[in-house]
Amino acid sequence: MDISRTDCVARDAADPLAPLRDSFDLPAGIIYLDGNSLGARPKAALARAADVIAREWGTDLITSWNTAGWFDMPKRLGGKLAPLIGALPGEVAVTDTTSVNLFKALAGAVAMQAADPCRTTIVTERSNFPTDIYMAEGLAGWLRRGHTVRLVDSPEDIPAALGPDTAVLLLTHVNYRTGHMHDMAALTALAHEHGALTVWDLAHSAGAVPVDLHGANADFAVGCTYKYLNGGPGAPAFIWVPERHQGAFMQPLSGWWGHATPFAMAPSFAPCAGIGRALCGTQPVVSLALVECGLDVFAQTDMAALRAKSLALTDLFIALVEERCAGHPLGLVTPRDHARRGSHVSFTHPHGYAVMQALIARGVVGDYREPHIMRFGFTPVYTSFAEVWDAVEILKHILDDNAYDVNAARGTVT
Active site residues: 129, 201, 226-227, 375
Q: Which is nearer to ligand PLP, 291 or 320 (CB)?
A: 291
Cβ at position 93, least distance to ligand PLP in Å: 15
Q: Which is nearer to ligand PLP, 271 or 377 (CB)?
A: 377
Please tell me the distance from the alpha carbon of residue 289 to that of residue 387, in angstroms, as a whole number.
31
Question: Which of these ranges, 67-75, 148-156, 160-168, 201-209, lies near ligand PLP under the rule CB under 6 A?
Answer: 201-209
Q: Which is nearer to ligand PLP, 100 or 395 (CB)?
A: 100
| Residue 97 touches ligand PLP, criterion: CB under 6 A | yes
Would you call 266 helix, strand, or coil by DSSP? coil
Of 171, 173, 170, nearest to 147 (Cα)?
A: 170
Q: For residue 410, give the DSSP letter.
A: P
Question: Which of these ranges, 1-9, 125-133, 245-253, 396-404, lies near ligand PLP under the rule CB under 6 A?
Answer: 125-133
Is 226 among the annotated ligand-binding positions? yes
Side chain identity at 95, as an amino acid letter?
Answer: T
| Residue 73 touches ligand PLP, criterion: CB under 6 A | no
Cβ at position 99, least distance to ligand PLP in Å: 3
Neighbouring-strand partners of residue 319: none
Could you give the string, one character per residue 209-248, with x where binding to ligand PLP holds by CB under 6 A and - elsewhere?
---------------x------------x-----------
| Residue 251 touches ligand PLP, criterion: CB under 6 A | no
Of 228, 246, 226, nearest to 237 (Cα)?
A: 226
Cβ at position 192, least distance to ligand PLP in Å: 22
Pinpoint the alpha helices (H) of 151-242: 158-161, 184-193
| Residue 11 touches ligand PLP, criterion: CB under 6 A | no
| Residue 99 touches ligand PLP, criterion: CB under 6 A | yes
Please tell me the distance from the alpha carbon of residue 49 to that of residue 64, in angstroms, as a whole number.
14
Binding residue for ligand PLP, selected from 24, 70, 176, 228, defined by CB under 6 A: 176
Sign of the dihedral defined by the CA atoms of residues 400, 405, 411, 414, in that order: positive
What residues between 272 and 331 interact with ligand PLP by CB under 6 A? none
Is 204 among the annotated ligand-binding positions? yes
Backbone angles phi, psi at 121, to 5 degrees: -105, 135
| Residue 253 touches ligand PLP, criterion: CB under 6 A | no
Is 99 among the annotated ligand-binding positions? yes
Please tell me the distance from the alpha carbon of residue 56 to that of residue 1, in angstroms, as a whole number.
55
Bridge-based pairing of strands 238-240 and 197-201 is unpaired
Say what the alpha-carbon torsion angle 368, 369, 371, 375 is, to the nearest 10 degrees. Answer: -60
Is 59 among the annotated ligand-binding positions? no
| Residue 98 touches ligand PLP, criterion: CB under 6 A | yes
| Residue 172 touches ligand PLP, criterion: CB under 6 A | yes
| Residue 203 touches ligand PLP, criterion: CB under 6 A | yes
Q: For the chain, count helices (H), then strands (E).
A: 13, 15
| Residue 122 touches ligand PLP, criterion: CB under 6 A | no
DSSP string, 278-318: G--S---HHHHHHHHHHHHHHTTS-HHHHHHHHHHHHHHHH
Backbone angles phi, psi at 377, to 5 degrees: -95, 135
Q: Annotated binding site for pyridoxal 5'-phosphate: which residue ranges?
A: 98-99, 129-132, 172, 201, 204, 226, 256, 282
Site residues, ligand PLP (CB under 6 A)? 97-99, 129, 131-132, 172, 176, 201, 203-204, 224, 237
